[in-house]
Amino acid sequence: MRLPEGGTVVVTGVTGFVGKHVALEAAARGFRVHGIARTGSDDPELLDSLAALSVVDLRHGLPDDLPVDGVLHLAGLASVGPSFEHPQTYIAENSAMMTVLGERLLRDGSRARVVVVSSGAVYAAASGRPVTESTALRASSPYAVSKIVVEVQAQYYRDRGLDVVVARPFNHIGSGQRPGFLVPDLLDALSASPGEVAVGDLATRRDYTDVRDIARAYMDLLQAETLAHDTYNVASGRSRSGEEVLARICAELGRPVPRREAKRALSRPADVADVVGSHDRITDELGWRPTTPFEQTIAEIVKAERE
């Protein structure tokens, strides 16, 4: 179903890092944004983009009076690392949110498109080879398990008649990202000890996309009148090592790259050395492509951190 002009876009997890940028993008395109989040927000930029904010626990329910013309489902536990310590929590909570959303839309007979955000972490990536939507899946973490479960649920609700599409984003970065991810963690480490930083394996390469480009992709998927596929990668198409990311941050800070002290490795499956995603499908079909240079993204993150 085509998203009506000025219609209501429901964004779950709206107070999160990506949720805010999706809300800003949707509002800039002229839609009313109804945010769903477990906690409120005092971020004026986010609040100005919202027509309404419902503070609810999506694991247990949704507001009764919820107008829906389109849904961007972002809510969920999103950090890979902690999922190894709390595997069942990740699987149960992320699955429960999808169940609540899907059952509610079925009950209401909704024709709204639902963009379910999964992750590029679900793939059995081969080092250095572009990952396409046809690449086999492999659950390399409890987080990935939870996302694969959610994708299976998305297929179930699609078969029940809902208009559901899955987006698989690869790593994304930008201002406002919270600790637990590479760029904010490197900034914290540099702030705490400028001469030496404790880091994990910075030799691994990952595909980083500016979060605003990610938000554009989600909205393009939501607004497309028709879609030829059920699943779309969202990626930059290029990988960078952690060393490159650290060097770029240091260049923006105007300081030399410090000595690195290796953190003790955690007991978990070995990382793939080089992960890069292919965005050919969404580019060929919808014309989306990343437009924000990596260097600009890092410069803006560092500027925001200084301010």
Each residue's pLDDT tens digit, 168-190:
999 999 999 988 899 999 999 89
Residue 301 CA to its chain's centroid (Å): 17
Name the DSSP class of 146: H
Q: How far apart are CA 176 and CA 196, in angstroms?
A: 24
| 176 Rama sector, left if φ>0, alpha if ψ -120 to 50, beta otherwise | left
Q: How far apart are CA 214 and CA 220, in angstroms?
A: 10
Each residue's pLDDT tens digit, 196-218:
787 778 999 999 999 999 999 99
Q: How far apart are CA 33 and CA 222, in angstroms?
A: 13
Closest CA to 99 of 146, 157, 54, 55: 157
**54 touches 35 (CB < 8 A):** yes
pLDDT, mean of residues 132-149? 96
pLDDT, mean of residues 254-271? 73
**214 touches 278 (CB < 8 A):** no
Number of Cβ atoms within 10 Å of the Cβ of 304: 12
Which sequence spans correspond to the domains of the chain?
8-175+208-237
Alpha-helical segments (H) within 163-306: 182-192, 211-223, 242-253, 280-286, 294-306
Torsion of CA 98, 23, 78, 119, to 10 degrees: 80
pLDDT of res. 127: 77
pLDDT, mean of residues 246-259? 93
pLDDT of res. 198: 76
Each residue's pLDDT tens digit, 226-248:
999 999 999 999 999 999 999 99
**Continuous segment of H or E residues that includes residue 254:** none
Number of Cβ atoms within 10 Å of the Cβ of 292: 17
Tell me how long the chain is: 307
Top-tier CATH class for 8-175+208-237:
alpha beta
